[in-house]
Amino acid sequence: MADFLLELSKNPQARKLVQTLGLPLPMPEPLQRPRGPRGDRPLADRAVTLRTAESTLTPHVADALARAGASVTAVGTAAALDGLGDVGEAFGRRPIRTDLEALGGSKARVLVFDASDFAAIDDLDRLWEFFNPLLGGLARCGRIVVVGRPADQAPTAAAAAARNALDGFVRSLAKEVGKRGAGANLLIVEDGAEDRVAGPLRFLASERAAYVSGQPLRVSARAKAAPAAPETRPLDGKTAVVTGAARGIGRATARALADEGAHVICLDRPEDASAVAQLARELRGSPLAVDLLAPDAIDAITAAARERGGIDVIVHNAGITRDKTLLRMKREAWDLCLDVNLTAVAAITAALSDAKLLRANARVVCLSSIGGIAGNMGQTNYAAAKAGIIGLVRSLAPQLAKRGVTINAVAPGFIETRMTAAMPAGVREVARRLNNLGQGGLPVDVAEAVAFLALPSSDGVTGQVLRVCGGALVGA
């Protein structure tokens, strides 16, 4: 069922009438989402205001923005942009240096604040000094990215306090700008991982992160660096497996990976063999009808992987719910939910790794859920499984890193799927509003996050949980 208020808000006259009459109706801003595969210049012609810092990170941030085609106006340390003129001219325009006073009421599509030089609590004043005069000019559906260093690696208690303060600042700022369809996120970059910031920054600063808001994402050099790959069709020649590919998030994910050049093995239950075969034909991939709980499931998956000479991406998307309060839940419902959502994920990943069918620099992406972070009434089985996914990802990350293999989880919030359409209307309506953006997400929003984590340029992100929830007002 369509979101009535979101559809209403797309009509300028209706939106103006609701605002004029002062009706107590939330009018969410329709999100701007990208279409088609990634390109070399995702920020082409986008006005980006960058706050530079006296740090080794600023040149990498500025370079990434310039290469993405952004029109960068920088305030702060002028020396940070030395040598970037040619890069900016080649991919967009030369970065412009200015000061906050000169910017006045100028407008920007993206605001990027490099806080990697924060070393004392007083440094937090710079957040107000930068954002206070510029937020009014942030475009609708704009993006904000704050870049900082890990608090747990700070040299002093004061530096740790300043660094950790960024988390609360960004989460709160995301709530303030959400009514305009805008998002704010925190990029935490470890020392030594500066050269891996480009991929995550391009994602968070673009429309591909339209439903990602109020989230921290950590970048490290834990995994072996991936070979350089083109920004256009970076998965050309690579093989991806998507479980639960027949519909919803799985279907959107298979399409997103195929758009980036991957040969996608579309896996789903034998009952959905027709749908998955049709999808595979459309994507020029391969169908694989397998029940994940069948005794020969792992053999079938490893055989398909071996036939392709190994795989480069596996997305553990298949999942089920069997909702009942624990008091009323039958043991069969408990077992089935845990087996599909967690046990099968662990077993398949282990089998592919042990058989060396995960190629060097492969990407493993597991679907968790906000339910695994915040819990849900009547979902003790599901929440346990999805929280277990997070533990699995964090544990396996260092083990897989030596071969450059990364493993991450994506935790969707309320996504408009066949499953959520079956909810009672009142519950569904409330769930749509309980986030910064005041609306449900779409399967493509989750697919975009998964595709980002599947790219070679995400080699700095591993052992992380990326929430795609619009900044849900529940959970951490």
User: The domain spanning residue 92 has which CATH number?
Assistant: 3.40.50.720
**Catalytic positions:** 382
Both 243 and 186 in one domain: the answer is no
Both 259 and 392 in one domain: the answer is yes
pLDDT for position 187: 98
Q: What is the mean pLDDT of residues 44-64?
A: 92
Both 155 and 56 in one domain: the answer is yes
Domain closes at, from 191, 219, 247: 219
Both 183 and 261 in one domain: the answer is no
Both 205 and 267 in one domain: the answer is no
Across the chain, mean pLDDT equals 92
pLDDT for position 104: 72
pLDDT for position 22: 61
- What pTM did the predictor assign? 0.94
Least confident interval from 264-268, 400-404, 410-414, 429-433: 429-433
Strand ranges for 307-420 from DSSP E: 311-316, 358-367, 406-412
Both 137 and 263 in one domain: the answer is no
State pLDDT tens for residues 138-194. 999 999 999 999 999 999 999 999 999 999 999 999 999 999 999 999 999 999 999
Domain count, the chain: 2
Both 172 and 304 in one domain: the answer is no
Both 433 and 288 in one domain: the answer is yes
Here the tokens at position 428 are 């569904």
Q: Give a yes or no: residue 26 inside a domain.
A: no
Q: Give a yes or no: residue 38 inside a domain.
A: no
Distance of CA 343 to the CA centre of its chain: 24
Q: Give a yes or no: residue 41 inside a domain.
A: no
State pLDDT tens for residues 296-342. 999 999 999 999 999 999 999 999 999 999 999 999 999 999 999 99
Q: What single-letter amino acid sits at 73?
A: T
Strand ranges for 259-327 from DSSP E: 263-268, 286-289, 311-316
Here the tokens at position 286 are 């391969």
Both 355 and 411 in one domain: the answer is yes
pLDDT for position 5: 75
Both 344 and 432 in one domain: the answer is yes
Q: Give a yes or no: residue 476 inside a domain.
A: no
Q: Give a yes or no: residue 34 inside a domain.
A: no
Q: Give a yes or no: residue 31 inside a domain.
A: no
* Cα dihedral 364/275/33/238 (nearest 10): 40
Both 174 and 85 in one domain: the answer is yes
272: pLDDT strictly greater than 80: yes
- The dihedral built from the CA positions of residue 367, 373, 374 and 380, taken in this order, carries a sign that is positive
Both 247 and 203 in one domain: the answer is no
Q: Give a yes or no: residue 178 inside a domain.
A: yes
Q: Which domain holds residue 64?
A: 47-219
Residue found under tokens 């082409």? 44
Q: Give a yes or no: residue 35 inside a domain.
A: no
